[in-house]
């Protein structure tokens, strides 16, 4: 069985990190599937999906890592061509990855207590985002 749903949300951009665990669990709860995988995929090339302990200090540490390794204040060729100033956002998104797959069993995701599912929006402006939530199993 396969069910495809969407999570729509509004982000602030600028490395905004949004906990989508409750929405994913809600979508899972709406299905009759008890064992399988949830596949998450964010449409667009300036955001990514991962897991993190959703604690404010750590979110800031994660943002700091991006600033050190894929800085906002160096030249990007993408910006010369397109003038949107979000070359760094694209590079970060490609490195982090647009998809995440999480197994579940008896309707429970394999997440730890301190492990939340997050969208990281790297764009340089607020964005409306669509995340595909596909639930497959039996």
Positions touching its own copies (CB under 8 A) are 1-2, 4, 35-37, 39, 41, 43-45, 50-53, 55-58, 60-62, 65, 68-70, 76-82, 87-88, 90-91, 93-103, 105, 110-112, 114-115, 132, 134, 136-138
Query: Which is nearer to its own copies, 1 or 12 (by Cβ)?
Result: 1
Query: Which is nearer to its own copies, 14 or 44 (by Cβ)?
Result: 44
Query: Which is nearer to its own copies, 30 or 82 (by Cβ)?
Result: 82
Question: How does DSSP classify residue 113?
Answer: T
Edge to edge, what strands does the sheet with 47-52 contain?
Answer: 16-19, 116-121, 47-52
Give me the least distance between CB of 12 and its own copies, in Å please: 19
Give me the least distance between CB of 67 and its own copies, in Å please: 12
Q: Find the distance separating the first CA and the last CA of the chain, reported in whole Å.
A: 6
Contacts (Cβ under 8 Å, ≥6 apart) of 136 = 1, 2, 3, 33, 36, 37, 39
Query: Which is nearer to its own copies, 13 or 62 (by Cβ)?
Result: 62
* Phi, psi for residue 32 in degrees, rounded to 5: -100, 15
Give me the least distance between CB of 34 and its own copies, in Å please: 9
Return the CA Rg of the chain: 16
């Amino acid at each position: 069985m396969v069910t495809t749903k969407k999570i729509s949300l509004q982000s602030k951009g600028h490395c905004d990190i949004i906990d989508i665990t409750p929405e994913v669990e809600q979508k899972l709860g709406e299905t009759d599937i008890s064992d399988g995988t949830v596949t998450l995929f964010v449409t667009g090339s300036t955001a990514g999906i991962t897991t993190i302990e959703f604690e404010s200090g750590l979110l800031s540490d994660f943002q700091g890592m991006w600033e050190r390794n894929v800085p906002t204040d160096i030249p990007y060729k993408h910006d010369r061509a397109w003038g949107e100033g979000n070359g760094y956002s694209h590079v970060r998104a490609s490195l982090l990855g647009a998809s995440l797959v999480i197994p579940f069993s008896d309707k429970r995701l394999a997440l730890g207590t301190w492990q939340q599912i997050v969208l990281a929006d790297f764009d340089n402006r607020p964005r409306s985002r669509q995340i595909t939530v596909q639930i497959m199993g039996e």
